[in-house]
Amino acid sequence: MLDIRFIRENPDIVKNACRVKNFPDVVDDILALDIRVRELKTITQTKTAEKNKISREIPTAADKAPLIAKSKKISEEIANDLAELTNKESTLNDLLHRVPQIPDASAPVGADDSANVEIRRIGTPRTFDFTPRPQWDLLEMNGWWMPEKIAGICGTRVYALAGEAAELSLAIQTYVIQKLISKGFKYIECPSISKPQTIFNAGHFMGSDLSVMNNDVFMLADTDRCLTGTAEIVLNSLHADEILSENDLPIKYAGFSPCFRKEAGAAGRDTRGIVRVHQFNKVEQYVFCTPEQSDEMHEHLLNNLCEIMEDLELPYRVIANSTGDMGFNKVKMNDVEAWFPSENAYRELGSCSSIGQFQARRTNTRYRENATGEVKFVATLNNTGIALPRALVPVIENHQNADGSVNIPKKLQPLMGGRTKIGGKH
């Protein structure tokens, strides 16, 4: 969320953020409520002081009845004012949680992903001398999955990898974790169960009504818990209500967790194969830093994912996401998209996001500045390390052979027992 003082002093900037991010403009309502809330606070303080003064006068007054009556009347007025104040503060709080983060000036302005801008393209999509198979054919012919059986057991939009594909998926995950550890990230195995408030505090949803998450989040019936869709949720709250030392920043985490998403808004898309499923595994890069370190950390996280694409020997491109495509809580966002031969297109494998102090205000995560001793909110950033099984798709499609076998990228071969190829007729 944004600081109310920033909204007071920069209403036009906030209004423009609402416009370019395609969210309702509630700035005027916020400012009007803010005035009334501050007014009510002053009124109740003044009346309380007056009531206290009368209370001190009553014991020594010759005629107590008028003072008692006046005190009672003021008490009733204070009660009414406090009731209005509570109501107005609740409404104001909800509206403040509906204001999007201010996008960076460098972000392309546009309504949706059609306004995204390609920054760079690395590698050349492979020209096959045979007709390449899509992911589901490779998985099927090699006995690497069992979609009908799992759908009968577990329902649709879930998967089970088997044999060498499962080994390869684990090797990719392990390689990425080891790479991030070597770059100074602290590895954390994160729980996939959290409180709904923890998800809300990550700032992906608008308003203060937690039921807004129900279309996207699996709630655990008869409990106060839910399943998380990314390790970011837990990592974001690790230092809630703490005051960190500036000397400790940046703090870099590599969080792994199974992830669960309803994907309710994606019905009809990617229902075949393993690109978009209800449960998947993800390694998440997450950083706490000073606001001044944010741009440097953004490039660091982005470059890590780009290196991973190159280690997996995948053609890829980097996208600058438009204001209308970057979401509610982001300052700027870069998608990294790998080449999917079966679709003859690039598809997103990770999103690098600068959040500014938006999440930290919700979790009250702060640091003490060395130079001044002042306590300020930290900045946070996140980026995918790897998401599986989605990332497995371009790996097996780009590295396939005519017989259905798949060449293993060189960086992964030590984790695959030295094998250079899986599947097919070898």
What residues are annotated to the active site? 261, 276, 348, 351, 390
d(CA 382, CA 48): 47
HSE of 218, CA atoms in CB hemisphere, 13 A = 14
Gap between the Cα atoms of 249 and 290, Å rounded: 7
Strand, helix or coil for residue 175: helix
Token couple for 157: 């939009």
Residue carrying the six token digits 């944004």: 2
- Burial grade of 421 (CB within 10 A; 0-12, 13-18, 19 or more): middle
Structure tokens, 17: 């953020």
- Whole-angstrom Cα Rg for the chain: 27
Query: Of 103, 102, 120, which Cα lies nearest the Cα of 335?
Result: 120
For helices 27-57 and 11-20, angle between their N-to-C axes, nearest 10 degrees:
140
Place of tokens 């807004």: 212
Confirm if 167 and 392 have CB atoms less than 8 A apart: no
Beta strands in 43-185 (DSSP E): 117-122
Q: Give the integer Cα–Cα distance in Å for 134 and 150.
A: 20
Q: Which two tokens stand for residue 219?
A: 């709630």
